[in-house]
């Protein structure tokens, strides 16, 4: 399973990369603005140079605008995957971008039907938003499990499922058990995944006992 850091902060990205536990980064314009980034393209280039794979938005009101944005992302670094909202324009854009060798992630996916159509279109990734599904009153992990089951049952589908909108270490555990191909995790949640009270207790005991003579 691939682990992505859902972040735009260069320092935090560098930190988690140094631990050898992330395969890439996902980010969006809101994250970039929140850390005060003024030159978005330069900032994205810095991130792309740090990781093997960077997922970033390609937005537009038309197919042409989406394709143009994705081409712009790709021009910043070949490792950049463009996140495109699911919809008719998004599906059409994927067809054009596939022929140009530009990878895509159809996101804002909330149903099995959307996932099937995204996979049929040939997107490299789909991105179901688990937290938002739960917020709406739906069973996010049940839907996520159905998506994984359906896509794995069809041999022609190569699209990877990336769980997103992760809120807690428990979300990480449940998404992993469902069998997703990738998961994108905020830095604060990823840090919590390293912690267990028994580990902390064990370290304290070993430290204490190492001082005994």
Catalytic, out of 83, 120, 192, 207:
83
Number of CB atoms found within 10 A of residue 114's CB:
17
If you average pLDDT over residues 120-136, what whole number do you get? 96
Q: Are 22 and 5 in contact (CB under 8 A)?
A: yes
Domain boundaries, the chain: 2-210
pLDDT digits (tens, 9 = 90+) for 5-58: 999 999 999 999 999 999 999 998 888 888 887 788 899 999 999 999 999 999
Supply the pTM of this predicted model: 0.92
Annotated active-site residue 83? The verdict is yes
Between helices 140-153 and 169-178, what is the axis angle to 10°? Answer: 30
d(CA 36, CA 18) in angstroms, rounded, equals: 24
Residue range 2-210, CATH number: 3.20.20.70
Instruction: Give 151-157's long-range contacts (Cβ < 8 A, gap of 24+).
Output: 151/115, 151/116, 151/119, 152/179, 154/119, 157/119, 157/120
């Amino acid at each position: 399973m691939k682990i992505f850091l859902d972040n735009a902060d260069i320092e935090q990205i560098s930190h988690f990369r140094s631990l050898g536990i992330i395969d890439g980064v996902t980010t969006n314009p809101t994250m970039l603005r929140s850390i005060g980034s003024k030159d978005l393209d330069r900032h994205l280039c810095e991130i792309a140079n740090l990781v093997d794979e960077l997922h970033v938005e390609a937005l537009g009101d038309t197919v042409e605008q989406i394709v143009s944005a994705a081409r712009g992302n790709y021009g910043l670094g070949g490792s950049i995957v463009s996140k495109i909202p699911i919809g008719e324009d998004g599906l059409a854009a994927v067809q054009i971008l596939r022929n140009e060798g530009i990878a895509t992630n159809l996101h804002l996916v909330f149903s099995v039907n959307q996932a099937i159509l995204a996979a049929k279109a040939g997107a490299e990734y789909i991105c179901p938003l688990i937290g938002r599904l739960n917020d709406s009153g739906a069973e996010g992990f049940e839907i996520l499990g159905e998506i994984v089951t359906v896509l794995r049952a069809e041999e022609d589908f190569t699209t990877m499922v990336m769980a997103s909108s992760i809120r807690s270490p428990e979300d990480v555990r449940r998404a992993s058990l469902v069998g997703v191909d990738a998961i994108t995790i905020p830095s604060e949640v990823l840090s919590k995944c390293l912690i267990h009270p028994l580990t902390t207790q064990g370290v304290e005991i070993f430290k204490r006992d190492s001082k005994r003579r």
